[in-house]
């Protein structure tokens, strides 16, 4: 995580955190020296007063001036412009708002919403922003109870008359939270976009600013309402994709274009210059007269269990007091229940455990561990036996199924199964178009 | 699953299973009437004596003759051709060898290896084939003990001097079995290709024949040795991909091009006309003097646990007597261990449980639930705490990590952790090229 020896020589006595002025190619850049973050230890990273971060090559650096104890200029005071729409930024934390601990090099969720919107000056041209802190946490730490609180805030803001909401959120569990808000706050009059970033704001490849800009442009310029995820569409700063909250998955650990639509097409592509290409039209148009409906109760605990060679029926039975289990079957929704030989003698017990748990009232649904494609438990003989044991196939992502079951058990405890099979916001995808695989 | 009323009118008194002759466009096709299987209930499906299945449009059908109780011609007796290489087909079951129960419409694994190779007449031109039945099961039912038996058969066949092995295997757990054979039978002198199909052999879109043909061509024409998966590369009958056994994942429940390489490139593209495009050269060339090494012991039980919002430390502790646990973290390998508020008060217990289980000797490794990208537990502060609790990051697919840990505990019980971090057959992918995402 350190600069190369060569870069250190160029930096002289300037240390990470120092305010410096760098003279390069006849220009002078002033800002704070950041820790090395890009793949290239030969790039000096400087955080400018505008909030932007630039990378400079030591070969081209003519002189570095060091000015200790100088603070950056405060951003100009923001004035409400009544000719522009108003967007509420709900801040939950995540990389998009993290800053780096210079001692350990690790990132902490710490930047305030004001700092963040000041750091992206383009936003001032698009809308007025209210920034509110809901949480300051990594999304990997979120619990269903946090969805409930976030849903309340979204509901209140949506009722308050703002033109759109941007939820800054860590990417790790964004697919879960986005689905949760889609189920918990229905009939939304305005767009609610989840925005995160895969690279922290002090890095040259930071994706947060572009994602927030594109989300703002989409809110202001399109007629979309409902919940969606707005993140990079490609690995370059090309365009953002607006993907439906209930059909999106984090497909890559580190790429900026990690969020991909699963078995559906994105709603839109959005460019930073303000161009928007609408790809779908099957959404509700904005309508400020439509009242949002809040149903944010959290039901009994739900589990996700992934089928694998060697799974034991005891692993399923562990969840016998849970409200429900999402089973990630193999392929079309299969599980090892066929008894063929001495090694599969215990498979019968898995089928038996399914039946017993159903009778106890544990709601169990089958999705696939394949990221794409729908389950079909009628193709193979034993898929039917599993259905007879009370497992219901669901044409949904694992994330959406998990969130929906918690929501269904909380808000419709007597009709959870019926609710699970009803399509509320596009989460059930029965007819998959061929050109939605790996896009 | 039934033919449309219109098609039934055309079929007259011909029933599914009847031998019929169809006159269409001046041609006559003889074969057995199959149940309706394609998306289109207006296509008459006929299984010809060649073993192939064709679909015919009722509009174009001039006449249907019915001939009850006629059996298809037996295939010509196969003669060993010493000028051709010899391939062993190890038969384990799966859709590639299933037939349909006309009563229920469900598929059973029942076709014999002889029937299968007779059904693909092109194979006779490529090689001599020995067909051996190892199992007759859906891969969804396979257990680690089956990998052990299959590894023995592969080892014996590889030693016997044959030129290559094709393992017919269901697609559900093919990624697990292929990785298992790659770890259990190393230093292979010849290619060992896993081949399956996503559509049963009685369907017009059956992919099994092309996959077996391409696997045979690759075995005969390339200099590759080692374990790989050979399946459709696109959704049409374009070419097959030969993907490394330890970096492959079933990405779609039903598409024929479901097996995709994860974070790596395929070894090759193979066309049915015999063209082969080698994409990589980082494999061992065939060498019949190289003895295969069999290490097929199965260790203590291993679990896969998927992190999610709401996971309880008790779920991890359930596995306290297991040999190991593969943890599918969120994003870069995160888990909810940060205590921030009343809802995350139990997160500390998850960290504690990790530490306790490590001390008991349970080997725990972190992979990501994102299909692509490697884990990095040094980016966020709490990733380090999780490592301190004994969780070791692994740059591997979840499937490969699970299989390898069972294998490592079985064959190197005292050095399992060291073995997990050693790259045996490309399972550890540290440097991911940008053009390997979603291919």
Kindly provide the ipTM of the predicted complex, given to two decimals: 0.84
Euclidean distance between CA atoms A370 and A303, whole angstroms: 18
How buried is A296 (Cβ within 10 angstroms: 0-12 exposed, 13-18 middle, 19+ buried)?
buried
Q: What phi and psi, each to the nearest 5 degrees, are found at residue B164?
A: 180, 165
Mean pLDDT of B41-56: 75
pLDDT score at B58: 77
Greater pLDDT, B100 or B402? B402
Look at A315 and B318 and tell me if their CB atoms are within 8 Å.
yes
> SS3 letters for A204-232?
CCCCHHHHHHHHHHHHHHCCECEEEEEEE
Whether residue B109 is predicted with pLDDT greater than 70 in this model: the reply is no
pLDDT score at A310: 97
* Residue A312 near chain B (CB below 8 Å): yes
DSSP conformational letter for B232: E
pLDDT score at B398: 98
- In chain B, residues with a C-beta closer than 8 Å to the C-beta of A261 are none
- In chain B, residues with a C-beta closer than 8 Å to the C-beta of A138 are 334, 338, 380, 382
Greater pLDDT, B38 or A133? A133
**A393/chain B closest Cα distance in angstroms:** 13
- In chain A, residues with a C-beta closer than 8 Å to the C-beta of B233 are none
Neighbouring-strand partners of residue B27? B24
Whether residue B100 is predicted with pLDDT greater than 60 in this model: the reply is no
Neighbouring-strand partners of residue B21? B30, B65
pLDDT score at A210: 94
How confident is the prediction for chain B on average, in pLDDT? 89
pLDDT score at A19: 78
CATH topology agreement for domains B86-294 and B302-420: yes
pLDDT tens, position by position, A117-162: 667 878 888 999 988 889 988 899 999 999 999 999 999 999 999 9
Q: Residue B108: which pLDDT band, with cuts at 50, 70 and 90?
A: low
pLDDT score at B99: 62
* Residue B406 near chain A (CB below 8 Å): yes
Helix B398-411 and helix B174-184: axis angle, to 10°?
A: 40
Contacts of A188 (CB under 8 A, 6+ apart): A154, A158, A225, A226, A227, A284, A290, A292
**B98/chain A closest Cα distance in angstroms:** 10
Interface of B with A in 13-52 (CB under 8 A): none
A13-21 own/partner pairs: CB under 8 Å, 24+ apart: A13/A66, A14/A64, A14/A66, A16/A102, A17/A102, A18/A66, A18/A67, A18/A68, A19/A66, A19/A67, A19/A68, A19/A69, A19/A70, A19/A71, A19/A72, A20/A46, A20/A64, A20/A65, A20/A66, A20/A67, A21/A64, A21/A65, A21/A67
* Residue A253 near chain B (CB below 8 Å): yes
* Among candidate residues A37, A28, A68, the one with its CA nearest the CA of residue A55: A37
Closest-approach residue (CA) in chain B for A107: B380
Helix A174-184 and helix A398-411: axis angle, to 10°?
A: 40
Lowest mean pLDDT among A59-68, B302-311, B324-333: A59-68
- Whether A202 and A34 have beta carbons less than 8 Å apart is answered as yes
pLDDT score at B106: 52
* Residue B92 near chain A (CB below 8 Å): no
pLDDT score at A131: 86
Helix B347-360 and helix B381-388: axis angle, to 10°?
A: 30
Q: What phi and psi, each to the nearest 5 degrees, are found at residue A45?
A: -105, 125
- Among the partner-chain residues B330, B371, B381, the one whose CB lies closest to the CB of A371 is B371
Decide if domain A302-420 falls under CATH 3.40.50.40: yes
Lowest mean pLDDT among A367-371, B54-58, B153-157: B54-58
Catalytic residues of A: 95, 171-172, 250
pLDDT score at A261: 98
- In chain A, residues with a C-beta closer than 8 Å to the C-beta of B105 are 378
pLDDT score at B294: 98
**How many residue pairs bridge chain A and chain B with CB atoms within 8 Å of each other?**
224
Low-confidence ranges of chain A (pLDDT < 50): 1, 70-73, 75, 102-105
Report the sign of the C-alpha dihedral through residues A36, A39, A43, A49, in that order. Answer: negative
* Residue B373 near chain A (CB below 8 Å): yes
pLDDT score at B98: 66
* Residue A172 near chain B (CB below 8 Å): yes
Closest-approach residue (CA) in chain B for A398: B308
Dihedral of the alpha carbons of B336, B340, B345, B347, in degrees to the nearest 10: 20
Look at B172 and A250 and tell me if their CB atoms are within 8 Å.
no
Q: Which fold has domain B86-294?
A: Rossmann fold (3.40.50)
Look at B255 and A437 and tell me if their CB atoms are within 8 Å.
yes
pLDDT score at A102: 45
- Whether B436 and B280 have beta carbons less than 8 Å apart is answered as no
Q: Residue B59: which pLDDT band, with cuts at 50, 70 and 90?
A: confident
Whether residue B102 is predicted with pLDDT greater than 50 in this model: the reply is no
- In chain A, residues with a C-beta closer than 8 Å to the C-beta of B260 are 438
pLDDT score at A271: 98
Lowest mean pLDDT among A76-85, A239-248, B169-178, B228-237: A76-85
Mean pLDDT of B254-270: 98
Lowest mean pLDDT among A218-222, A305-309, B118-122, B294-298: B118-122
pLDDT score at A76: 53
Q: Residue B110: which pLDDT band, with cuts at 50, 70 and 90?
A: low
- Among the partner-chain residues A171, A336, A344, the one whose CB lies closest to the CB of B331 is A171
Euclidean distance between CA atoms B309 and A152, whole angstroms: 18
CATH number given to B5-66: 2.30.30.520
Cα three-residue angle A269-A227-A302, rounded to 5 degrees: 125
Half-sphere exposure of B278 (CA within 13 A, CB side): 11
**B339/chain A closest Cα distance in angstroms:** 8
Look at A376 and B312 and tell me if their CB atoms are within 8 Å.
no
* Residue A344 near chain B (CB below 8 Å): yes
Look at B438 and A438 and tell me if their CB atoms are within 8 Å.
yes
Mean pLDDT of B87-93: 92
* Among candidate residues A154, A151, A173, A39, the one with its CA nearest the CA of residue A94: A173
pLDDT tens, position by position, B383-421: 889 999 999 999 999 999 999 999 999 999 999 999 999
Look at B254 and A373 and tell me if their CB atoms are within 8 Å.
yes
pLDDT score at B43: 81
The domain spans of chain A are 5-66, 86-294, 302-420
Look at B176 and A252 and tell me if their CB atoms are within 8 Å.
no
Token reading at B94: 């799966």
Percent residues over pLDDT 70 in chain A: 90
pLDDT tens, position by position, B195-205: 999 987 667 78
Report the sign of the C-alpha dihedral through residues A311, A313, A315, A320, in that order. Answer: positive
Interface of A with B in 136-155 (CB under 8 A): 136-147
- Among the partner-chain residues A106, A329, A373, the one whose CB lies closest to the CB of B379 is A106
Contacts of A373 (CB under 8 A, 6+ apart): A263, A332, A432, B252, B253, B254, B255, B258
- In chain B, residues with a C-beta closer than 8 Å to the C-beta of A379 are 106-107
How buried is A230 (Cβ within 10 angstroms: 0-12 exposed, 13-18 middle, 19+ buried)?
buried
Percent residues over pLDDT 90 in chain B: 67
- Whether A178 and A285 have beta carbons less than 8 Å apart is answered as no
Q: Reduce the DSSP state of residue B178 to 3 states and report it.
A: helix
């Amino acid at each position: 995580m350190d600069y190369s020896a060569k870069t250190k020589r160029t930096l002289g006595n300037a240390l990470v955190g120092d305010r410096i002025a760098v003279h390069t190619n006849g220009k002078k850049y002033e800002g704070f020296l950041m820790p090395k973050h890009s793949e290239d230890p030969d790039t000096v990273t400087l955080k400018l007063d505008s909030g932007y971060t630039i990378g400079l090559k030591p070969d081209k650096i003519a002189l570095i001036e060091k000015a200790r104890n100088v603070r950056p200029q405060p951003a100009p005071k923001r004035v409400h412009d009544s000719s522009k729409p108003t967007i509420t930024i709900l801040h939950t934390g995540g990389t998009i708002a993290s800053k780096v601990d210079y001692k350990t090099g690790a990132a902490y969720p710490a930047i305030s919403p004001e700092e963040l919107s000041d750091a992206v000056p383009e936003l001032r041209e698009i809308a007025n922003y209210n920034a509110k802190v809901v949480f300051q946490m990594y999304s990997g730490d979120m619990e269903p109870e946090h969805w409930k609180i976030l849903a309340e805030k979204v509901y209140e803001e949506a009722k308050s008359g703002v033109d759109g909401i941007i939820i800054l959120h860590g990417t790790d569990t964004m697919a879960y939270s986005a689905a949760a808000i889609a189920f918990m706050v229905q009939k939304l009059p305005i767009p609610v976009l989840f925005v995160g970033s895969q690279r922290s704001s002090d890095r040259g490849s930071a994706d947060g600013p572009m994602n927030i800009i594109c989300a703002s442009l989409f809110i202001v310029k399109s007629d979309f309402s409902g919940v969606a995820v707005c993140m990079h569409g490609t690995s370059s700063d090309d365009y953002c994709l607006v993907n439906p909250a209930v059909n999106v998955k984090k497909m890559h650990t580190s790429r900026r274009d990690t969020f991909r639509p699963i078995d559906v097409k994105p709603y839109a592509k959005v460019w930073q210059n303000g161009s928007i290409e609408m790809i779908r039209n099957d959404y509700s148009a904005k309508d400020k007269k439509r009242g949002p409906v809040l149903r944010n109760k959290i039901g009994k605990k739900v589990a996700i269990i992934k089928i694998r060679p060697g799974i034991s029926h005891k692993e399923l039975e562990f969840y016998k007091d849970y409200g429900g289990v999402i089973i990630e079957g193999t392929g079309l929704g299969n599980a090892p229940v066929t008894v063929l030989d001495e090694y599969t003698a215990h498979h019968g017990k898995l089928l038996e455990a399914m039946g017993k748990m159903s009778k106890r009232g544990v709601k169990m649904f089958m999705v696939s561990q394949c990221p794409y494609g729908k389950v079909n438990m009628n193709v193979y003989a034993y898929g039917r036996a599993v259905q007879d044991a009370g497992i219901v196939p669901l044409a949904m992502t694992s994330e959406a199924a998990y969130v929906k079951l918690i929501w269904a058990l909380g808000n419709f405890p007597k009709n959870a199964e019926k609710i699970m099979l009803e399509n509320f916001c596009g989460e059930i995808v029965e007819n998959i178009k061929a050109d939605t695989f790996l896009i």
